[in-house]
Amino acid sequence: MRGIEPVKLKIDGVVYAVAAILELEEPLDLNSLLKAVGRPKEVKAVALNPEALAGPAHVLTAVEYALKAFRRGRNAARSFHVEVMLFAAATREISRALPLMSPPEGARRVAIACVADTPTACLSYLERVARELRASIAPLKREPEAAARVAEALGLERRELEATYAVDVAEAVEKALLSRMALEYLSR
């Protein structure tokens, strides 16, 4: 798994998180996805629509805020995966976050983010899910087209993007979303 490295998160102790893209051999069947992602219990995971993600920092920061929210009793959702989607969409509205962030039936690519106590557990989980879904694993990268779609879907204004002093639109969208996620967390 070249280019895929778990990151260390310090939240009342140390955990590791990883985000990657699964490139599926066949169109996505949501039941198969739920079955594959739902185990084991020592790994928390979420499947996301890669077309709604600005980049790896967007996903991993949403994961980090979701963990913090649960650990501190500030979660808006009952489940980890929905809480991640709420932060990724920078909203408290489940009805807004789920349609945007959920992987669509029939998709050929799915983003997976997972959290575990060790880097090995993260990578092993990712490999198992990929095997069950008959998918190859690729790094999650910043993609300008996806970033533009996310900016439009979440109503990021041009002045908000310009305020980031980013090199390109994809970086600007990712930075703006990181700011919105921080504000969402602080407002709880």
- Read off the CATH number of the domain in which 126 is found: 3.30.2380.10
SS3 content of the chain, % helix, strand, coil (to 5): 50, 20, 35
Q: Does the residue 166 lie in any domain? A: no
Rounded Cα–Cα distance for residues 88 and 152 (Å): 14
For 62, the domain range is: 7-141
Rounded Cα–Cα distance for residues 38 and 180 (Å): 29
Q: Does the residue 172 lie in any domain? A: no
DSSP letter at 51?
Answer: G
Model confidence over 118-158: pLDDT tens digits? 999 999 999 999 999 999 999 999 988 889 999 999 999 99
Total domains in the fold of the chain: 1
pTM of the full structure = 0.92
Rounded Cα–Cα distance for residues 146 and 143 (Å): 5
